[in-house]
Structure 1
Amino acid sequence: MGQAPVVYGQSDRPPRGDYSRAQDDYTCAQDYAAYTEADHDTYRRLYARQKALLPGLASQAFIDALPSLGVEDRIPRFEDINQRLRQATGWEIVAVPGLIPEVPFFSLLANRKFPVTDWIRKPEEFDYVVEPDIFHDLFGHVPLLFNPVIADYVQRYGQGGLKAERLGACEMLSRLYWYTIEFGLIREQGEIRAYGAGILSSSGELQHAVTSPLPQRLPLSLERTMRTRYKIDTYQQTYFVIDDFQQLFDMTEGDFTPVYAALRGLPELAADARD
């Protein structure tokens, strides 16, 4: 029992999370009794701040789905969310101690299980936390798993990830996840709105992504997205915009093998490369 911690990117401190609790698939039980009143208060304040920012910036589909998380004033129990989520789309959330390797991650998604980090940031990290915590995962990701089209897209992404790993193309596919599920924008009634979890769970990036004149916002293109590197320590300088969620599902319907082969012959693009 127990797994090794996982590190993505560069950091000057070891990964957080007790990986000794992790099973072979990196999941663990949500240790609900371990949350302190300070932890619950941090969650409550984060939730209240982000919820207040959503109108006019977040996708209406996300706003409509947010109440499905349940309680707002304390960290929810995963089993309570799962009762509603399984009924809505056949998904469930599972606890993990932190970041997990690509293959277990893809495998969970392919089986309609979404990994949620079960620890929460410290009060001094209220505005920024290096690694995804329970607030980012729950508030940012889980509401749209109640949307049938997004639910199917995320499962299809997991299935594609397992194939990409065999083809040595995980980096290209990870960029698609980054620029859609984490930092995607959508056009609703002629206006730009956010649906990516990394945007929706960040007070600063939510406003930057939707209203700032600084970043470029490009129509989502599979090839352009897979060629574009990204930054994990600053606001994004490039965002990709979809017209509707069905576009994501349709885009992943084909075989990516020839796409990967074609892109290997092209140079990568910097995160701030301008079109």
Structure 2
Amino acid sequence: MNAPQTALHGWAAGEAGRPANPDWTIPQRWESYTPKEHATWATLYRRQMALLPGRACEAFIDGMRRLPIEADRIPNFEQLSEVLMRSTGWQVVAVPGLVPDEVFFDHLAHRRFPAGQFIRRADQLDYLQEPDVFHDVFGHVPMLMHPVMADFIQAYGVGGLRAQRLGALEMLARVYWYTVEFGLVREQGALRIFGAGIVSSAAESVFCLASSSPHRIGFDLPRVMRTRYRIDDFQQTYFVLDRLDDLLRLAEIDFAPLYQQVAALPALAPDAVLPDDAIITRGDSHHHRARPPQPA
């Protein structure tokens, strides 16, 4: 029997996925989720919450504790927004899936986090091509309770609109990828996860910290802006912040001169190691050597 076809959502579905609202927001329609969809959330939630103690950073654990995110049901965006607004001025808005870059940046610049309204099928627990409500809410929203992350992501939205005008979006996207999505941070003498792409993935939650395959390198902004990333597999390199507060410094930097500096240098492969890297652990790349090569 053939596997079910994966339906695309939002911008990934082309014109068929475009909603009526120009900001791409839609009603969440929480009451329309089926028992099967809530059960999928419950399976994902319980699996991650069993894995993350001792792996996720304290800011993530604290955000989960303070938000109305429960094991047995998909969260209600209005309830999440009530708590977020009181704490950091953010709200969660429902979108059909991926949205155009300028829409995404505008939402972030105004402290609105666009979360996919749909949830993956039960046969897609381990991998989904698009971000769904589990990735967006479980992965991202707890960190929005942390003042530093709340300010950084707003600054990223403002910076994204500027980067589009400067033709530098690819470089800025790498910063988001290696921090907000796949970032690690030092905490209490160990490495901890804060990136949403990791905390929402059972396999990568273990791989990023325990595997001997990936490199773990101290965060350096120009270095990160040059480094390509994997969208088809685990990351080959994880960049490590000394503390989450370092994100505030990134939010205050004028990126325009950096874009010019980095644009004059070659892009780096996802597994590159440079002589002046602050190497925390140098990987042996055994995982990716066993996989088909990534397209150029």
Q: Give the alignment's TM-score, normalised by structure 1.
A: 0.93
Q: Secondary structure at the match of 1:206?
A: helix
Amino acid at match of 2:211: S
Match of residue 206 from structure 1? 205
Match of residue 132 from structure 2? 133
Distance in 2, Cα, partners of 1:126 & 1:89: 31
2:45 is aligned, of 35, 44, 47, to 47
Q: Does 1:188 pair with 2:215?
A: no
Alpha-carbon shift at residue 22 of structure 1 (Å)? 4.4
Distance in 1, Cα, partners of 2:256 & 2:161: 12
| Cα pair 1:22 1:96 within 8 Å, conserved | no
Alpha-carbon shift at residue 33 of structure 1 (Å)? 2.9
Alpha-carbon shift at residue 273 of structure 1 (Å)? 1.1
Q: For residues 244 and 21 of structure 1, do their structure 2 counterparts lie closer, same or farther at Cα, with a shift above 3 Å needed?
A: same
| Cα pair 1:68 1:81 within 8 Å, conserved | no
Match of residue 11 from structure 1? none
Amino acid at match of 1:98: G
CA deviation string 1:88-143 (max 9, x = no partner): 00000100001111111110000000000000000110111111110000000000
Alpha-carbon shift at residue 72 of structure 1 (Å)? 2.1
Q: Does 1:118 pair with 2:132?
A: no
Identity %: 50
CA deviation string 1:133-169 (max 9, x = no partner): 1000000000010111110010011111111010000
Q: Does 1:6 pair with 2:11?
A: yes
Amino acid at match of 2:26: C
Q: Is there any run of 5+ residues in structure 2 with no aligned partner, and where?
A: 1-8, 275-296
Q: Secondary structure at the match of 1:241?
A: strand
- Most deviating of 248-257 and 188-197: 248-257
Q: Does 1:223 pair with 2:233?
A: no
2:65 is aligned, of 64, 67, 87, to 67
Match of residue 10 from structure 1? none
Amino acid at match of 1:80: Q
Q: Secondary structure at the match of 1:62?
A: helix
Q: Secondary structure at the match of 2:93?
A: strand
Amino acid at match of 1:59: C
| Cα pair 2:25 2:96 within 8 Å, conserved | yes
Distance in 1, Cα, partners of 2:112 & 2:134: 18
Distance in 2, Cα, partners of 1:179 & 1:134: 21
Amino acid at match of 1:267: P
Distance in 1, Cα, partners of 2:38 & 2:54: 28
Residue pairs, 1:28-107, within 5 angstroms: 28-70=26-68, 71-107=70-106
Amino acid at match of 2:216: R
Distance in 2, Cα, partners of 1:122 & 1:69: 25
Q: For residues 63 and 166 of structure 1, do their structure 2 counterparts lie closer, same or farther at Cα, with a shift above 3 Å needed?
A: same
Q: Does 1:253 pair with 2:258?
A: no
- Most deviating of 226-235 and 29-38: 29-38
Q: Is there any run of 5+ residues in structure 1 with no aligned partner, and where?
A: 8-13
Alpha-carbon shift at residue 261 of structure 1 (Å)? 0.4
- Aligned residue pairs, count: 265
Q: Secondary structure at the match of 1:76?
A: coil
| Cα pair 2:163 2:172 within 8 Å, conserved | yes
Q: Secondary structure at the match of 1:198?
A: helix
CA deviation string 1:220-261 (max 9, x = no partner): 111010100011110000010001111011123121111000
| Cα pair 2:10 2:95 within 8 Å, conserved | no
Match of residue 155 from structure 1? 154
| Cα pair 1:22 1:97 within 8 Å, conserved | no
Distance in 2, Cα, partners of 1:206 & 1:167: 35
| Cα pair 2:57 2:194 within 8 Å, conserved | yes
| Cα pair 2:18 2:24 within 8 Å, conserved | no
| Cα pair 2:11 2:17 within 8 Å, conserved | no
Amino acid at match of 2:82: Q
CA deviation string 1:40-77 (max 9, x = no partner): 00001110110110111111221121123322210111
Distance in 2, Cα, partners of 1:113 & 1:271: 31
Q: Secondary structure at the match of 1:239?
A: strand
Distance in 1, Cα, partners of 2:198 & 2:75: 21
| Cα pair 1:18 1:97 within 8 Å, conserved | no
- Alpha-carbon RMSD across the aligned residues, in angstroms, is 1.5
